[in-house]
Structure 1
Amino acid sequence: MKRRDVIRRTLLGAAISGLDLAAHGQAANKDTTIDPAVNGKEAKWTCKGEMVVEGQQPGKPHAGKVLAAIQPHADDVPLFAGGLVGKLIREGYTGYLIRVTNDEMTGSGTRGEGVLHNEQDNDAVAKALGLKKSYSLAYRNHRMDEMSPQDLRGNLILLFRLLKVDTVVSYDHWGLYEENPDHYVTAAAVESAAWMAGMAKDYPEQLETGLKPHSVMEKYYYARGPQIANRVVDISADVDVKVASIQAIGTQGPGGNNGARLRQRLAEKKLRLPILGDDDETANSRYIEHFVLDQDSMHTRGVMSDRELGAAYGFAWAERFRYIGPNRSRLDEYIAKNAVKV
């Protein structure tokens, strides 16, 4: 067998293995405990094969850090990363929500009505997640592949520098089978803007206003379908925050009054689902918990539900991501380990 064939088969096998892990949530047999330092504090996580399992952290280990949750549409972060964002905010981050499109193609009524109602929903999502402020860049919905990528990249770099963003949560540019141009165009722009924001020669006109170069050091990338994920996050303590953020997206998606409407339809047929409770507010939240997070209704591409993924790793609820953290060179590691005071 030729050397290049050996390499090709090895890489293909690794890719398939990674996808299988991400799609089906199967953990490796060997567990390794790792202790990453977060603002000088130790946080024990577990590594299952190449999958890092991020657990809950007490106190405010991320105090002083800034998070940007970025979504093309008002429902993306609530559905795929609402638990993570809620967790990071609870652990000390200051957060901002950046919506990229105007969502004109969703909701009932005219396009203009859809724009208004989705903007209101987006603000409600930010409030539910505990974020400080929401931004809407208002690009055309479903038409982002015809816009200037440099225009979007420049706007994101401006916000990253202005807000001094340390961590982003956004769509995975390398997620598979993604047909929505808003998703993959946004993902590509976030990926490039995250490091270019730290370059002094990129968009120098921004620096003339007094802004400073500022690189984004951590990325949590989510996806709708199969993904080469490397991190599972325990969101059990924050699932109520995720439910509330989904509840806020009434114009599109499974939020709003779907639970109350289902309860009413059943009542008209002299039927009742006990899990929906006895009032509309309970029905709405229970509907999201049992028929959105648990029953795979939002994971339409064969990816495990939040409850199933959590169960595979010993949690009540979990989300999965492609995580990219700060690069630490071997020189930095050697200095940290061996340097002595003089």
Structure 2
Amino acid sequence: MKRRDFISQTLAGGALASGSRGVGPHEAGAGREVGFTPRGQLVIEHAAPGKPHAGKVLAAIQPHVDDVPLFAGGTVAKLIKEGYTGHLIRITNDEMAGAGTTGEAVLHNERDNDAVAKALRLEKVFNLEYRNHRLDSAPLQDLRGRLIFLFRLLKVDTVLCYDPWGLYEENPDHYVTAKMVEAACWMAGMDKDYPEHFAAGLQPHSVSEKYYFARGPQMVNRVVDISATVDQKVEANLANVTQGPAGENGARLRARLAAQKKRLPGLGNDDATANRQYIKEIVLDVDSEHLRGVPSDRELGRRYGLEWAEAFHYIGPTASKLEEYISQHAVSL
């Protein structure tokens, strides 16, 4: 049995099924917000009415141009819809992915990245331009320091990124990015790390919430309802025409089938429809395990009574109980 399959089967009967044991999963959103549970109880995060996150800032962080769209595009769109201001940080230059020369791949992926940000309504785009597939040999303190600077500059409250604690990940760009983001989140709040930032007018600023996604097995404690934003997730994946399983692959499949005198009715009658339907029905659902390495967004949602969903290892702030304890137990001198 392959290591990845063994881990998947083990978690299927354990951590990933935590919401089905004992009491049912907690409900979050729509007036039923549930705080971070460090013991990992599963929380279902629903769409919230209005703009409850107005004034908050998120950073969607990806090693490559297609990572956030594939694994967290629906949640990013949901949080922006609920009031967040969002920014996109891409770690590598994606030089190894796409047709043509290396230079052409860099240019085309940068254009795709801008289109992803536009589709997800993200305001600023930062391309850090580290070498693709070589992040494990890059100066990691340099990367961490740049992330700390951006977290302070943008006053980031929430990050969405690869899970540093995911149990299977073969790509060094993914796991190095995850580890550096995790460290930068708390170091950005320290007053002795990079004091030159303060001379430039910045202030210590910790990141308090993390939505970590993975391309394989992980400890899942939050499932986000993306039913209202799945079409926006499709648009973000449509932007990745240079690399990845989405982009214009629907039109390519339609052409291949036509050459064989076949068609899939679900792909529609034109290339634009084929591309969108291929992403929604094939990439995010029917062939998700093969193309993305994760279960179908539709099947995940169905498990919890939702139409579409994304899964995360969520880490958030914990409230101090000290003042409550003092009020209950303090006595007069």
Aligned to 1:28: 21
Change (3 A) 1:52 1:118: same
| Pair 1:182 & 2:150 matched | no
The Cα RMSD (Å) is: 2.7
What is the aligned partner in structure 2 of residue 61 from structure 1?
A: 52
Matches within 5 A, 1:1-342: 20=13, 27-28=20-21, 30-31=23-24, 33=26, 42-44=31-33, 50-297=41-288, 303-332=294-323, 334=325
Q: CA deviation at 1:304?
A: 1.7
Residues 57 and 336 from structure 1, CA distance in 2 versus in 1: closer, same or farther, beyond 3 angstroms?
farther
Sort the Cα spacing of 1:337 and 1:193 in 2 relative to 1 into closer, same or farther, 3 A: farther
- Give SS of 2:224's match: strand
CA offset at residue 329 of structure 1? 1.6
Q: Distance in 2 between matches of 1:81 and 1:308?
A: 16
Partner AA of 2:191 in structure 1: A
2:109 and 2:67 map into 1 onto residues whose CA distance is: 12
- Tell me how far 1:73 sits from its aligned partner: 0.3
Distance 1:19 1:206, change over 3 A: farther
Following superposition, the deviation at residue 83 of structure 1 comes to 0.7
What is the count of residue pairs matched by the alignment?
Answer: 321
Seen in structure 2, the aligned counterparts of structure 1 residues 55 and 338 have a Cα distance that, compared at 3 Å, is farther
User: Taking structure 1 as reference, are residues 32 and 208 closer, same or farther at Cα in structure 2, changes over 3 Å only?
Assistant: same
Mean Cα deviation higher: 24-33 or 55-64: 24-33
What letter corresponds to residue 158 of structure 1 in structure 2?
A: F
Give the corresponding residue for 2:5.
none
- The alpha-carbon deviation at position 270 of structure 1 amounts to 2.5
State the SS of the aligned residue for 1:82.
helix
Q: Please give the per-residue CA displacement for 1:239-263, whole angstroms capped at 9, x wherever unaligned.
A: 0011111111111112221111222
Give the match's secondary structure for 2:286. Answer: coil
What TM-score, normalized by structure 1, do the two folds share? 0.87
Q: State the shift of 1:108 in Å.
A: 0.7
Cα distance in 2, alignment partners of residues 252 and 202 from structure 1:
37
Q: Relative to structure 1, is the Cα distance of residues 301 and 289 closer, same or farther in structure 2, using a 3 angstrom cutoff?
A: closer
Corresponding letter in the other structure for 2:201: G
Q: Give the Å deviation of 1:88.
A: 0.4
Please tell me whether the aligned partners of residues 70 and 292 of structure 2 are also in contact (alpha carbons under 8 angstroms). no
User: For the structure 1 residues 131 and 334, does the alpha-carbon distance in structure 2 shift closer, same or farther, using more than 3 Å as the test?
Assistant: farther
Percent pairwise identity = 64
Relative to the length of structure 2, the TM-score reads 0.89
Contact map agreement 1:25 1:304 (CA 8 A) in 2 = no
Aligned AA (1:71) = Q
2:280 alignment partner AA: E
Q: Name segments (4+ residues, structure 1) moved above 6 Å.
A: 335-339
SS in 2 for 1:220: strand
The one-letter code sitting in structure 2 at the alignment partner of 1:141 is: N
SS at match of 2:103: helix
Give, as a single letter, the amino acid of the residue that structure 2 aligns with 1:31.
Answer: G
Contact 1:22 1:320 in 2 (8 A): no
* Unaligned runs of at least 5 residues, structure 1: 1-14
Structure 2: which 5+ residue stretches go unaligned?
Answer: 1-7
Report the alpha carbon displacement of residue 18 of structure 1 after superposing the two structures with TM.
5.6
Please report how far the alpha carbon of residue 269 of structure 1 lies from its aligned counterpart in structure 2 after TM superposition: 2.6
CA distance in 1, matches of 2:327, 2:77: 33
**Offset from partner CA, 1:159-178 (integer Å, 9 cap, x none):** 00000000000010110121
Deviates more, 1:213-222 or 1:15-24: 15-24
Cα distance in 2 between the residues matched to 1:139 and 1:213: 25
